[in-house]
Amino acid sequence: MIQVDNLSKAFNNVTVLHDISVTFEKGKTNLIIGRSGSGKTVFMKCLVGLHEVNAGNILYDNRNFVKMDFRERKQIRREIGMLFQGSALFDSLTVEENVMFPLNMFSAMSPAEKRARVNTCLNRVNLADVNKLYPGELSGGMKKRVAIARAIVENPRYLFCDEPNSGLDPMTSLVIDDLISEITHEYDITTVINTHDMNSVMEIGEKVIFIHEGNKEWEGTREEILDTGNKNLDDFVFASNLAKKIKSLSR
């Protein structure tokens, strides 16, 4: 469980996040939704310390990340897996080397154990026979899978995904969403996902937070999201003509 209390973040006196409080639950997919530029990425990077917050606390199972020094934070980060928007695979390394990278840096495993662990993770994301390929030789969806495999290779307790569907077609998006959701339940991970994709919300959103211009405007479940009375959220949820049409039909 991750608890965020009154988090604020500004860049050069421009406030990007206003006083956000939220709890992300263990073993669930927690979705942060909002328009492009609403502050989702900044929020996620604040949670993991890639940005320093201006105010607020972040509790990782009651351990306050904000108050920690460099060393203690590093320890927490070892419990975090992160999936970046563009996958952020290392271009100069093969798929296998990418996934093995965290193990090479930190684990005391033997080379055979490492290889076995890498293959387990690649199998888990349904990738086979790509071990020796370079990221440049993979499709967008495959890159995402490799990045997921790398994120889970050290058995994280927390998983952060920034726009896991960006750049993917709707079918592949579903596959990636389901994969993240399955992994979350299988390993009982606290998963936080940034997205602006309503399909993801309806597919895997167990807990949903709506951010608008840096403010948390709503939180609830995907069942409740269609009928909130929040104007900004309605604009977001029913952005497409298709959605508007369906809504008007259901009235």
Partner 1 sequence: MNFFSTFGRYVVLLSRVFAKPEKPKIYLQQTIREMESLGLNSVGIVIIISIFIGAVITLQTRYNLESSWIPLYLIGLTARDTLLLEFSSTMVGLILAGKVGSNIASEIGTMRITEQIDALEMMGINSASYLILPKIIATMVFNPFLTLISMFVGLVGGWMAVILTGALPSSDYVFGIQYLFVPFYITYALVKTVVYAFIITSVSAFYGYNVQGGALEVGRASTRGVVYSSILILLADLVLTQLMLA
Cβ–Cβ contacts within 10 Å for residue 224, how many? Answer: 11
Q: Which of 89, 118, 125, 201 binds partner 1 (CB under 8 A)?
A: 89
CA distance 172 to 27: 23
CA distance 214 to 42: 9
Asked if 90 interacts with partner 1 (CB under 8 A), we say: yes
Q: If you search the block for the tokens 């948390």, which residue do you land on?
A: 216
Choices 29-37, 121-129, 148-156, 235-243 (CB under 6 A): range interacting with ligand ADP = 29-37
Cβ–Cβ contacts within 10 Å for residue 129, how many? Answer: 8
Q: Which of 29, 41, 181, 232 binds ligand ADP (CB under 6 A)?
A: 41
Asked if 102 interacts with partner 1 (CB under 8 A), we say: yes
CB of 162: closest distance to ligand ADP in angstroms? 7
CA distance 141 to 169: 9
Q: Taking Cα atoms as reference points, which of 13, 68, 69, 39 lies closest to residue 210?
A: 39
Asked if 85 interacts with partner 1 (CB under 8 A), we say: yes
Choices 24-32, 78-86, 110-118, 235-243 (CB under 8 A): range interacting with partner 1 = 78-86
In single-letter form, the type of residue at position 243 comes to A
Could you tell me if 156 and 79 are in contact, meaning their C-beta atoms sit under 8 angstroms apart? yes
Q: Which of 41, 87, 94, 181 binds Mg ion (CB under 5 A)?
A: 41
Asked if 118 interacts with partner 1 (CB under 8 A), we say: no
CB of 235: closest distance to Mg ion in angstroms? 19
Per CB under 8 A, residues contacting partner 1 are: 45, 48, 50, 74-75, 77-78, 80, 82, 84-86, 88-91, 101-102, 104-106
